[in-house]
Structure 1
């Protein structure tokens, strides 16, 4: 029996990943011009850890987000399972 996909939870996790990615990019840009700002470095590191937690949570429930060895493949939520993140 296939596990029931919770599309609302999937969408919520993808949205959270996008939000955290946005913050990380903004902090990267800021740190390009303010490399000694320890508070920004701490924020960047916190968001990077948070992103990894969100990615692991998403992938454990809905399958891999990346290819090229950046995500593990598993059954039953593997590469051939849909919908793909951009199809939601």
Structure 2
């Protein structure tokens, strides 16, 4: 028998769920960029104890991984600022990380090519579909079609 809408009571057939969202304080402690990427959050107070970090050891290193970590921290700070708009320290940090991300992306693209299709518009010719792709850097390519 499917669960019907009730009058505020939990029906017997409802699955058990216990949602918990920790309250985030202004001026919360923060992880470093790489540690944030490994933990899936910038803020240690939001790092829930039941979160499995099976993939944490697979976070790479190098220019692309550093850029990914910067972008992750920017996204986390942006979400924090959505609910803590008056935190001037976090906004200043957001601006610093945004500048670092822009600079890092420009350096990366100057060395390895565009990361985004729209970045190819800055080149003298269209370079978007050239091998190797950023995630293939370092792989051996065969003579046949660029397959590794």
Give the TM-score category using the shorter length. Answer: 0.7 to 0.9
User: For 1:55, which of 87, 101, 105 is the aligned residue?
Assistant: 105
From 58, 62, 84, give the equivalent of 1:12: 62
Distance 1:53 1:37 in 2: 25
> What SS class does the counterpart of residue 25 from structure 1 fall into?
helix
Bigger CA radius of gyration: 2
Contact 1:63 1:74 in 2 (8 A): no
| Structure 1: runs of 5+ lacking an equivalent | 1-10
Task: Give the alignment of 1:22-41 within 5 angstroms.
Answer: 22-41=72-91
How many residues align? The count is: 75
Gaps of at least 5 residues in structure 2 are 1-60, 138-148
Q: What SS does structure 2 have at the residue aligned with 1:22?
A: helix
Structure with more helix by fraction: 1
Counterpart secondary structure, 1:81: coil
Q: Which residue of 1 aligns with 2:11?
A: none
Greater relative contact order, per chain length (Cα 8 Å cut-off, separation 6+): 1
Of 95, 105, 122, the residue aligned with 1:45 is: 95
User: TM-score when scaled to structure 2?
Assistant: 0.46
Per-residue deviation, 1:74: 4.5
Q: TM-score, normalised by structure 1?
A: 0.74
Q: Does 1:81 align with 2:109?
A: no
